[in-house]
Amino acid sequence: MANSPSGRPVRGTAGDALRVLATDTAAVTGDGFFTALVAALAGFFGSKYAFVTECTDSAFTHVRTLAFHADGHPAENIEYEMAETPCERVMTGGSCYYPTGLSDRFPNQDGMMSYLGVLVTGSAGNALGHLAIAHDEPMACGPRDVTNLGIFAARAGMELERKRGDEALRAANARLTEALDEIRALRDRLADERSYLQEEILADRAPGDMLGDSAPMRELSSQIARVGATDSTTLITGETGSGKELVARAIHASSSRSDRALVKVNAAAIAGGLVESELFGHEKGAFTGATARRVGRFELADGGTLFLDEIGELPPPAQATLLRVLEEGAFERVGSSHTLTVDVRVIAATNRDLTRAVETGEFRTDLYHRLNVVPIVVPPLRHRATDVPRLARHFFERSCRRAGRALRGISEDAMSRLVAYSWPGNVRELANVVERAVVLSSEPVLGAAAFHLPGADDRVGPTGPVPAPDADGIAGPRPLALDDVERRHIVHVLNEADGVVAGAGGAAELLGLPPSTLRSRMKKLGISASRARAQVR
């Protein structure tokens, strides 16, 4: 500090202090203001040190400097506890002055011999921090110095209060932005769910409800109830058309996730190169044709259930990614490096023998075991023949409503014929056969002749005599293996469709199967559409 010969500082008036403030700090705000303020303060008082602080706790025991000026230059800001410092006296008394001997009283004040500090307050008189000057020589200060330092402190309080208000406003804006982002995310999710549900409504659905009171169906219902109460990954196996999707929906409906969506993916119906995009989504521009961001099925099913139908058709690259999602609950959209986490219960289904696919290397062993935590086998319709009358009446009533026909029912001989048939296409085939009879019949009561059952009459099914079902609704053994039954049935339907597989009136439509699934079964069974009639002969 520049001292007079008497040891007292050369100090200005209050007007001088205001002029310095106006000149040196008017053009800056925020952190820049406090840096300019302590520089102006050190210059005005001629002190070696000048600093301004703010309290960081409600007990006023800890402070940090907003700006520190030392030896004519800005210094690094610091944080410290005020106990055993002259700053503590300022916070309790409003001001503190030590003309000399500061380091003797406060050993941690190295390099400082004299000190003058005043309280920094807000507009309501609340303590915000303090403003101080210090020197490495004795410093003689009087009331005018305290007044002038108070002028600087008042301006510091105004700026600190404004700074805190700005920070609170920015924090509120950040919270508002975050809330708006959450609202947008929810809006987008609802839009995606609505779009998905609309697709589901327009898509072909597995026919029939969970109808039947045969022993196999009672056991199936019991399994569904037990599995639905858990979040365990479930693998549903069964023949085509037996109702695997209905079982998945029943499990979801009985679970704690029933208030969220059951999202369905048919792995067999997705082109090989688009499986990962369908399951995990993609970013705009991720590949040719990706004109917009797409939310994948896993993301859409977050909090709910994902039904992976025809899981045996999933290509190897997608199998590896699916395994990771099942184990970690994390994935990336195609074209993105950002990892997403989801909480999804997975139910998979297949009509393939996955154990054989594992043996041949077509399906990953680790993925199979990860999916097969809780296995459920859906019984084929021929094993629950006592359920056929109830199912047939259900499909009859539904078909009459759809076709706008006022038919009276199904005759007893026709019902006996339906019960005796082996139904290689299972419940789906029964639904199609009944609907076809309702649409085409010219009689008010559907007789046996109204139902077209390939290769069957009242007593003979396409594989030979069909034994009556036992008390549990399970028919006796067939003379032909299941593959032979299925092969003969597909060949018969191909002949009905003149060898046409896909399209209106094609074999796939008659069987109620996706064309890709029918072609897959034909390939497995060695059936050629062009040679179907020769195979029959």
Query: Are 518 and 501 spatial neighbours (Cβ–Cβ below 8 Å)?
Result: yes
At the fourth CATH level, which superfamily is domain 215-379? P-loop containing nucleotide triphosphate hydrolases (3.40.50.300)
Task: Give backbone dihedrals phi and psi of 340, rounded to 5 degrees, phi first.
Answer: -105, 145
- Confidence at residue 5, expressed as pLDDT on a 0 to 100 scale: 33
Q: How far is CA 488 from CA 419, 451, 500, 503, 537, in A?
A: 19, 18, 16, 21, 11
In Å, what is the CA distance from 9 to each residue of 18, 147, 307, 359? 18, 14, 84, 95
What is the reported pLDDT for 283? Answer: 83
Q: Which long-range CB contacts under 8 A does 145-149 form with residues at least 24 apart?
A: 145/9, 145/11, 145/45, 145/116, 146/95, 146/97, 146/116, 146/118, 147/14, 148/11, 148/12, 148/13, 148/14, 148/16, 148/17, 148/44, 148/45, 149/41, 149/45, 149/116, 149/117, 149/118
Quick: pLDDT tens for 174-203.
888 888 887 877 776 666 665 555 555 444
Strands 339-341 and 330-332: antiparallel
Outline where 337-477 has alpha helix (H): 354-359, 365-371, 388-403, 412-420, 426-440
Amino acid 442: pLDDT = 87
Tell me the pLDDT of the chain averaged across its residues: 81
Residue 391 near residue 215, CB atoms below 8 Å: no
Burial of 1 (0-12, 13-18, 19+ CB in 10 A): buried
H/E segment holding residue 350: strand 345-350
Residues in the chain: 537
Residues paired with 295 in a beta bridge: 281
Helix, coil or strand: residue 331: strand
Output the tens digit of pLDDT for each of the chain's 537 residues: 444 333 334 456 667 777 777 677 767 777 788 988 889 888 888 889 999 999 988 888 899 999 999 988 999 998 988 888 898 888 888 889 999 988 888 887 777 899 999 999 988 888 899 999 999 899 888 888 888 888 888 888 888 888 888 888 888 888 888 888 878 777 766 666 655 555 554 444 433 457 888 999 999 999 999 999 999 999 999 998 889 999 999 999 899 998 888 888 888 877 766 777 888 888 887 777 777 777 888 888 888 999 999 999 888 888 888 888 888 888 888 888 888 888 889 999 999 899 999 999 999 999 999 999 999 999 999 999 999 999 999 999 999 998 898 899 999 999 999 999 999 999 999 999 999 999 998 899 999 999 988 765 434 333 334 444 444 444 444 444 566 677 778 887 888 777 888 877 788 877 877 887 888 888 878 787 665 543 433
The domain spans of the chain are 14-169, 215-379, 383-477, 480-537
Nearest in space to 212 (alpha carbons), one of 448, 403, 392: 392
State the pLDDT at residue 329. Answer: 82
Q: Taking the C-alpha atoms of 270, 298, 243 and 212 in order, what is their torsion angle to the nearest 10 degrees?
A: -170
The CATH number of 383-477, from 1.25.40.10, 3.10.450.50, 1.10.8.60, 2.60.40.1930, is: 1.10.8.60
Give me Rg for the CA atoms of the chain.
41
Q: How far apart are CA 484 and CA 527, in angstroms?
A: 11
Write out the DSSP string of 116-140: EEEEEE-TTS-EEEEEEEEESS---
∠ CA 499-504-506, nearest 5°, is: 25
- Rounded distance between C-alpha atoms, residue 81 and residue 123, angstroms: 25
> CATH number for the 14-169 domain, one of 3.40.50.2020, 3.40.50.620, 3.90.950.20, 3.30.450.40?
3.30.450.40
Structure tokens at 106: 């406060």
Please give the pLDDT value at position 56. 87
Rounded-to-integer distance, Cα 118 and Cα 109, Å: 18
Indicate the SS3 state at residue 62: strand
Say what the pLDDT of residue 479 is.
44
Residue 339's pLDDT is what? 84
Instruction: Read off the pLDDT of residues 54-102 as tens digits, 9 standing for 90 and up.
Output: 998 888 889 999 999 998 899 999 898 888 889 888 888 888 999 998 8
Query: Which pLDDT value is given to residue 50?
Result: 92
CB atoms within 10 A of CB 254: 16
* Phi, psi for residue 223 in degrees, rounded to 5: -65, -45
